């Protein structure tokens, strides 16, 4: 079996064990004679998958019964609209932090629905970072406070989350399940699957039950959280196969020791890579050190020409997806949960060899 190291920001690498199990049952799911993709979403086999996926998320994050776990569609981009549609009532204001490209997209969408106060803005700063806690200037009585926990493009991540009097809402698309955190600190969390959870197509939403009740009646039924809560995410046909793979990924995480164990592994991988960058005059990290992402490591070489050569040579050596986002350039190594430590080690060795030859 030929496998490369996939450093893409998303869709990203998945655990080999998960892919192998999905492959084994692709044509015949546990003796059914058909794939889980072909079975009814109301049938017992899929319902068992659905319920286990929810239970695993609850266990991994220690989620209380005060919250609902939903499987929706539309990715984070869909939630940029759905959050203000549900939580930002007429005449109310929401607080947003601008930490980069994805936070800016969320702000733009929220402004269509109502008032937005940007309570901290470092989205265009170089080196990149997220806001410091003491910079946040909250609006009294805000409907909610929105943050983007990890900016995949800039490589900046919140090391700790703010304590807010208004419900805290977070886009955690690119670092969900990479570390433990207190769900009780948040009113609503959402995450596209294609980074740490599974393949693209399903969006995880964790919402405090009471917040689902504030949606105006003018919001169409499909776009109300309480509609999907009442139907256990089965109001419409869910993305069954992505949810199945998400279930397998959460099983894999549990076998690995849960989020505390995963956080140790992720910290070790990131520390190795940042040490290689900092120990060289050839490579330069692009994020403020205290806000460096453990998921998306971004750096530059002395010239764009060398960066292009780096990406081409790395691809030839079996390391793909290292080209930085088109809006910023540079190099980006996404080292999500499923990136094995051997992949990080291989990249560091390649970086050292490339520098020596340049």
DSSP string, 301-321: -S-HHHHHHHHHHHHHTTEE-
Report CA dihedral (193, 197, 200, 203) to the nearest 10 degrees. Answer: -30
Q: How far apart are CA 71 and CA 244, in angstroms?
A: 11
Token pair belonging to 143:
């409907």
Q: Which residues are catalytic?
A: 102, 171, 195
- Which is nearest to 343 in space by CA: 251, 266, 275, 279? 266
What phi and psi values does residue 185 have, to the nearest 5 degrees? -80, -10
Burial class (CB in 10 A: 0-12, 13-18, 19+), 142: buried
- Which is nearest to 158 in space by CA: 137, 172, 144? 172
Half-sphere exposure (CA, 13 Å, Cβ side) for 172? Answer: 24
Q: How far apart are CA 157 and CA 293, in angstroms?
A: 5
Q: How far apart are CA 2 and CA 356, in angstroms?
A: 28
CB 225 within 8 A of CB 204: no
| DSSP category for residue 124 | T
CB 177 within 8 A of CB 196: yes
Reply yes or no: is the peptide bond before residue 127 cis, omega within 30 of 0: yes
Q: How far apart are CA 13 and CA 315, in angstroms?
A: 15
Residues with Cβ within 8 Å of residue 24, at least 6 apart in sequence: none
CB 266 within 8 A of CB 122: no
């Amino acid at each position: 079996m030929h496998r490369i190291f996939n450093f893409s920001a998303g869709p990203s690498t998945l655990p080999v064990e998960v892919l192998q199990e999905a492959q084994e049952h692709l044509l015949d799911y546990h003796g059914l004679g058909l794939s889980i993709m072909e079975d009814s979403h109301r049938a017992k086999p899929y319902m068992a998958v659905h319920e286990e996926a929810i239970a695993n998320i609850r266990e991994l994050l220690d989620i209380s019964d005060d919250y609902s776990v939903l499987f929706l569609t539309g990715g984070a981009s869909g939630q940029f609209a759905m959050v203000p549609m549900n939580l930002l009532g007429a005449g109310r204001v929401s607080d947003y932090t601008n930490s980069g490209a994805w936070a800016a997209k969320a702000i733009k969408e929220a402004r269509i629905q109502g008032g937005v106060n940007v309570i901290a803005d470092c989205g265009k700063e170089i080196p990149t970072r997220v806001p410091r806690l003491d910079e946040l200037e909250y609006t009294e009585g805000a409907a909610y406070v929105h943050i983007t926990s990890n900016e995949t493009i800039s490589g900046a991540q919140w090391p700790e989350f703010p304590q807010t009097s208004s419900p805290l809402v977070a886009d955690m698309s690119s670092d969900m399940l990479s570390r433990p955190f207190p769900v009780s600190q948040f009113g609503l969390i959402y995450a596209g699957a294609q980074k740490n959870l599974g393949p693209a197509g399903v969006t995880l939403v964790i919402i405090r039950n009471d917040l689902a009740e504030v949606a105006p009646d003018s919001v169409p039924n499909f776009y109300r959280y309480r509609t999907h809560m009442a139907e256990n995410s089965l109001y419409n046909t869910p993305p069954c196969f992505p949810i199945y793979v998400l279930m397998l990924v959460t099983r894999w995480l549990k076998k690995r020791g849960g989020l505390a164990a995963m956080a140790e592994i992720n910290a070790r991988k990131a520390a190795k890579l940042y040490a290689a960058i900092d120990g060289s005059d050839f490579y330069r990290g692009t994020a403020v050190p205290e806000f460096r992402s453990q998921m998306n490591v971004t750096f530059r070489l002395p010239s764009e020409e060398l960066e292009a050569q780096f990406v081409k040579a790395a691809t030839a050596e079996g390391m793909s997806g290292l080209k930085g986002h088109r809006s910023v350039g540079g190099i980006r190594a996404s080292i999500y949960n499923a990136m094995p430590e051997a992949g990080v080690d291989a990249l560091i060795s390649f970086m050292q060899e490339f520098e020596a030859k340049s």
